[in-house]
Structure 1
Amino acid sequence: MKALVLEAKDQPLAWKEVEKPTLQPGEALVKIKAAALNRRDYWITIGRYAGIKYPTILGSDGAGLVAEVGSDADKDWLNKEVIINPSNNWGDHPEFQGKDFTILGLPQDGTFAEYVKIKAEYLHPKPTHLTWEQAAALPLAGLTAYRALFTKAKLHKGDKVLIIGVGSGTGTFALQWAKAAGCQVFVTSGTGEKIEMAKKLGAAAGVSYKAQDWVQQLQQLAGGFDVIIDSAIGPEFDKVLDLANPGARIVSFGATAGESPALPFRKIFWKQLQILGTTMGTKTDFEAMLNLLNTHQIVPVIDEVFPMQDANRAIKIMGESSQFGKLVLQV
């Protein structure tokens, strides 16, 4: 089979022949129809991620057909259209991942290939209203945003939500999930174009985080927020606390703008704020996400689709953060 192989740091992915995976009992082989990029893939290509090994096949998101299974117990999956849950070996505690937790695409070879091996327990039927490309866009970012909003922030209908940096895959999913839950959603972005795109998805309003008075603009638009999703953090994170209503929940699953300076804890305890961290999600989170998506017939936002062989161009775009929604690879 062919796969995109990362052979060294800062090297382009090579589309080359590799050995087709062999299965153990409980495993399945999925013929990939489409895969999608995540920020994780970009960080790995430039050597800024823990536990990198070479050579490796990246890719956490994928959708395709089950071509083989490793045991008769899973034969009902054969020839089924599926998406893959990339959040593997979560562990016993629903509040945090265990020591054996892994994400598909490192250390286990991922979906940037003609075939991928996965435990059958992480297969799910492809939502029938989605194309292959839309289905492939869903798993990692959709799951991360779902857990941040519902499992961690305990999102309620009527909550006022702020999404900082809406153009990412997780940001667009957070907007779609929150709107489906009956919330009023506001956004920030570095470009007016992305803010307008977010409005078309249902955002009430948005401001540029490049503006010096972005906090004041949001306060004039919305007052304050009950739930804030911030995967940037950075030196201005303390300003986010000024946007939080008393009792607000602030959730982060990244720090793309760097670490935060010392926090004003008097403000945190007096407003009774919750600052919550999250990563990926459990099987229960994944199933609940699919239920929300299917119930509301939500369609993931795709910025652009590339042939698998053109993945290096997609990774360059990911590094520039110019996309709105997901970047997808088509086999």
Structure 2
Amino acid sequence: MKALVHAEIAGINGLAYQEMEERIPKAEEVRVLLKTAGLNHRDLFTIDQNHKPSDPPIIIGSDGAGIIDAVGDGVENVKVGDEVIINPSLGWREKSDAPPQGFGIIGLPTHGTFAEKIIVPAENVVHKPEYLSWEEAGVLSLAALTAYRALFTRGKISPEMKVLIPGIGSGVATFLLQFAKAVGATVYVTSRSKIKCEKALELGADLAINSEEDWDKALNGEKVDLVIECVGAATFNKSLKQLRSGGTIVTFGASAGDVVQLNIREFFYGQYNLFGSTMGSGEEYSEMLQFIEKHQIKPIVDQMYPLEQYEQAFSRLEKAQQLGKIGFTIR
């Protein structure tokens, strides 16, 4: 089968679209004939930092959707021919304060979704929501699950809250906006891009702020109850400044720097709550799917590329040109 494989050289130069051996699923496993897959910042980190040149070659990619074409012994939740999406969260079944020992993500350490076929545990596939297209289903899981846990499990969002989402261009951020508005919250977003700000307003944002502006002035001194910080060091302290006393900030992204200087005295006088968040459990994945089906929420698909045109897709993501999710068509 054809697959996008990383080996020997760090970064995009270590990627090759090549033949890889096709396997047969073992007990409690299924094989998915992939139709679409989603590109994430995690894939950039994998090839730049996490997958070492000395490591064995690996098929990258965490998001995908397709059709079951083989099942191992003991599989009961799906059958050959079923249309499914893949939950990339491995070894984390029940909702908990933190992932259990052994938690992993498809695409590293296991082979990922940028391939014609993938074998995954049967518990990691669920039937594709009928209202989603293949393009939408293929880019959904990682970003939507990350957004759901950050906003609901960690952020405890409620309808009366005011929520700030810096950096509205990413796939996770567009889910955060749609989820928060579905709940009934007031949502403010930021971006350096006028186009992204305009799109956010179309999606329901109550205010879109140019990231270069004075955020406090743009909000007329108004403070928010909850900040979901997915940018990193570049915006963290600006985000914290907009939080009300006793408010909550949830962080899970560091694409714009991972080291922050924090004024501890201001933090404890402000009685702030700070939570980290990463991906989510199988239980939260099920909750997320029920939520998006109830509200008919769809991923914002930025652009789809044939898998063999991966260089263009990675370049668009690296330059932060996307609004929403970048994906691949495989079949």
Could you list the per-position Cα deviations for residues 232-261 of structure 1 after superposition, in whole angstroms to 9, with x for gaps in the alignment? 231552232220012211011122221344
Matching residue's letter, 2:305: F
Q: SS state of the match for residue 98, structure 2? A: coil
The match for 2:3 is 3
Say whether 1:283 aligns with 2:285: no
Contact kept? 1:233, 1:256, Cα under 8 Å: yes
Q: Which residue of 2 aligns with 1:39?
A: 41
Which shows bigger deviation, 85-94 or 17-26? 85-94
**Match for residue 112 of structure 2?**
110
> 2:94·2:282 contact (CA, 8 Å) conserved in 1?
no
Supply the AA of the counterpart residue of 2:319.
Answer: E
Letter in 2 for 1:200: E
Q: Deviations over 1:123-175 (max 9, x none)?
A: 11101100011011110000001000000010111211110101001110111
What is the one-letter code of the residue matched to 2:138?
A: A
Q: TM-score, normalised by structure 2?
A: 0.94
- 1:330 counterpart letter in structure 2: T
Assess if the C-alpha contact under 8 Å between 1:229 and 1:251 holds in 2.
yes
User: How far, CA to CA, are the matches of 1:127 and 1:75 in structure 2?
Assistant: 15
Instruction: Give the corresponding residue for 1:139.
Output: 141
State the secondary structure of the residue aligned to 1:141. helix
Structure 1 runs of 4+ off > 4 angstroms?
Answer: none
CA deviations on 1:25-72 (whole Å, 9 max, x unpaired) are: 000000001000000111222x22366734111110000001000114
CA distance in 1, matches of 2:127, 2:39: 21
Code of the residue aligned with 2:167 in structure 1: it is G
Does the CA contact (< 8 Å) of 1:238 and 1:260 recur in 2?
no
Aligned-partner Cα distance in 2 for 1:114–1:227: 41
1:93 CA drift (Å): 6.9
Displacement, 1:205?
Answer: 1.2
TM value normalised by structure 1: 0.94
Q: Please name the residue that 2:305 is paired with.
A: 306
Superposed counterparts of 1:25-174, under 5 Å: 25-45=27-47, 47-49=48-50, 53-74=55-76, 76-90=78-92, 94-174=96-176
For residues 203-244 of structure 1, the C-alpha deviation after alignment (integer angstroms, 9 at most, x for no partner) is 111112223x23332x31x71111101122315522322200
Instruction: In structure 1, give the amino acid aligned to 2:118.
Output: V
Aligned residue for 1:19?
Answer: 21
Alpha-carbon separation, structure 2, partners of 1:260 and 1:41: 21
Letter matched to residue 174 of structure 2: T
Q: Is 1:67–1:79's contact at 8 Å kept on the other side of the alignment?
A: yes
1:5–1:68 distance in 2 versus 1, CA, 3 Å: same
Match of 1:197 among 191, 196, 199: 199
CA RMSD of aligned residues (A): 1.7
Q: Aligned with 2:150: secondary structure?
A: helix
Amino acid at match of 2:226: V
SS, match of residue 128 in structure 1 = coil
